[in-house]
Structure 1
Amino acid sequence: MEPPVPLALAQAVPRLPHGRKGLWWYEPKFDGHRAALFRSAESVRLQARSGRDVTAAWMDLALAGMVLRPGTVLDGEIVVWRDGRIDFAAVQARAASGIDRSRVLAARLPASYAVWDVLAHPDHGDVRARRYTERRRLLLDLLADVEPPIQAVPATDDYETALVWYEALRAQGIEGIVCKRAASVYRSGRIWQKARHADTSEAVVVGYTGAAAQPRALAVRLADGRTVLTQRLPAALARDAAAYLTAAAPGPPAATTAGDTYTTTPVDLVVEVLEGTTRHQVVTASRVR
């Protein structure tokens, strides 16, 4: 399996799904940057959700990944811990840095890789068609003797335990809970569910201003149906969004609810916006989801 690989995503839901025991599995939702890790015979590569190669920004994790068996492909979240809590700002700083700067930041605050899935196994090849519970067993076996900074995320099929995690782990920077059906295979698209704490909300990207390769702002559709422009995008977020926007031809021009013109786009892209800003005509996008 070679990068880039389309990754599975999660759909936001207001509460944890619940059914008979064993139907759903629950994992803490780490607040970092999504990445797939590819261990070949010679090296390790890291791929962002957009498909972009981000190995240079996370060389400490690439080096740590050399202990994995060749033929391993993992899916997880890159996080940085500071004083017992996940520091998303530190992750953003690393992601936006050049090679030299990222090395300095890595020495100060090393990254960790929280792994929740295996896409390819050295002995079984591509395992994306296997059910979640089978892939989970394979993942735990692969990482049994692997030490931090690469670790499997906790998982439980007990609903009450998941509720405790949802409340108790918030102080450590855990965003919420990701919920996966036990029988689900791994495929691209929003196949999982996620219940998150209500500090932020999500908005669908319908267009942009500026060039696709260098978007100035995003046109987003909010939950109440309004279409608005975000504030000007910071460099790191503009780069992440551009990876998606440039993958499709621009659509015809359109106008927001307030009458601002933007270029439409057919890409499937969701961004996180700060809670409270959706009352106004301009929102603040904080990251690609």
Structure 2
Amino acid sequence: MPTRRKVPDPVMLRPPVPLMQPRPVPVLPAEDGMPGGVVYEIKLDGVRCCAARTEAGVELWSRRARGLNGRFPEVLPALADLLASGVVLDGELCAFRGGRLAFTELLRSPRSRAADGVAVSYVVWDVLAVPGRDVRGLPLVERRELLAEVLAEARPPVERVMATRSRETALGWYRDLHSVGVEGLVCKAAAAPYRPESASWVKLRHAETTDAELVGIVGDPARPEAVLARLPDGRQATTSPRLTVVQAHQVAQAVRGRLRPDSEKSSRVHWVAEPRPVAEVLLGSGRHGRARFVRMRPEE
């Protein structure tokens, strides 16, 4: 009886996996300023997402290894039609409203987004695996060629990120696309492999915000005036100026059901229980510069 050949497993990389993070820089690198030259990409304002096709179907993962399928079902059918088993992608989930990126729409439920006609797209910039092969060790330029093959039949809500090798073109994007919500640019070494511990990705943003743990709120829990934020260096800051109506609503939603019962009722400060939500803040200059609340981040 002839021996049946075993079919190789096409799934060689199973998320969640560590994702590369760009470090901030004050000036856009020159075209020859990184190994193999530079690939300039627009920096979108969304939720970082790794998408994979496995035996279980399409899986979405955040940069902090949280499953995202339930929060962003809008992109799942398109990815299921497009991806072969074993493909792993890196990109960003973005919401669009009225032709602009609308980050805060990502905080809403899929049902409420659909009711208001908010479109969610998955914008892809890298491929980490193809059927039967982990490709993270390849140079970026070769991964980009593979990505073009993987996404050859892609249609919205799945699309490739805008990218160029021209610094002049990139600077034009940086100048002109800010008005539609583009945060800035990400610059990548064209010859570099995908290694999360490396420094081969950098970013230039119009405003460099910081993620901070929201440890408490000031004022009425239904209409907070400020938040107490724990910064990455361990310092705690109270945000100012007073939260706007929209910001206060975001914060109230984020802390609903999370306030610690040991908070003193007579106090205007209410402490948040773990796991705590994350807020984006903009820090002033100097060690004692004030922190300005920008927005809540979706749980990642």
Task: Give the TM-score normalised by structure 1.
Answer: 0.73
Secondary structure at 2:71 match in 1? helix
Matched ranges for 1:98-137 at <5 A = 102-106=110-114, 108-122=117-131, 125-137=133-145
Q: Does 1:185 align with 2:193?
A: yes
Q: Does 1:195 align with 2:204?
A: yes
Note the C-alpha offset of 1:272.
3.7
Note the C-alpha offset of 1:168.
1.2
Secondary structure at 1:45 match in 2? strand
Note the C-alpha offset of 1:137.
0.7
What do residues 62-100 of structure 1 show as CA deviations (whole Å, max 9, x unaligned)?
A: 12210111111101000111111111111222xxx3xxx
Work out the CA distance in 2 between the residues paired with 1:89 and 1:182: 32
**Contact 1:82–1:109 (Cα < 8 Å) also in 2:** yes
Q: Does 1:66 align with 2:80?
A: yes
Q: Does 1:85 align with 2:97?
A: no
Q: Return the letter of the residue paired with 1:7.
A: L
Work out the CA distance in 2 between the residues paired with 1:238 and 1:186: 36
Work out the CA distance in 2 between the residues paired with 1:167 and 1:228: 34
Note the C-alpha offset of 1:147.
1.1
Question: Which of 132, 148, 173 is 2:156 aligned to?
Answer: 148
Work out the CA distance in 1 between the residues paired with 2:209 and 2:120: 26
Q: Does 1:43 align with 2:57?
A: yes
Secondary structure at 1:105 match in 2? helix
Q: Greater helix share, 1 or 2? A: 1
Note the C-alpha offset of 1:15.
1.5
Q: Name the counterpart of 2:295.
A: 286
Q: Return the letter of the residue paired with 2:46.
A: G
In the alignment, structure 1 segments of 5+ residues that lack a partner are 211-215, 240-261, 263-269
Query: How many residue pairs are counted as aligned between the two chains?
Result: 241
**Contact 2:95–2:121 (Cα < 8 Å) also in 1:** yes
Secondary structure at 1:234 match in 2? helix
Work out the CA distance in 2 between the residues paired with 1:109 and 1:119: 29
Q: What RMSD over aligned residues (CA atoms) do the two structures have, in Å? A: 3.2
In the alignment, structure 2 segments of 5+ residues that lack a partner are 1-12, 217-226, 240-247, 257-270, 272-277
What do residues 101-142 of structure 1 show as CA deviations (whole Å, max 9, x unaligned)?
A: x234235213101100001112x5111111110111110111
Work out the CA distance in 2 between the residues paired with 1:51 and 1:150: 21
Q: Name the counterpart of 2:27.
A: 15
Q: Name the counterpart of 2:168.
A: 160
- Seen in structure 2, the aligned counterparts of structure 1 residues 73 and 106 have a Cα distance that, compared at 3 Å, is farther
Matched ranges for 1:133-282 at <5 A = 133-189=141-197, 191=199, 192-198=201-207, 200-202=208-210, 209=215, 217-220=228-231, 227-231=235-239, 234=251, 272-274=280-282, 281-282=290-291
**Contact 1:277–1:284 (Cα < 8 Å) also in 2:** no
Secondary structure at 1:56 match in 2? coil
Task: Give the TM-score normalised by structure 2.
Answer: 0.70
Greater CA radius of gyration, 1 or 2? 2
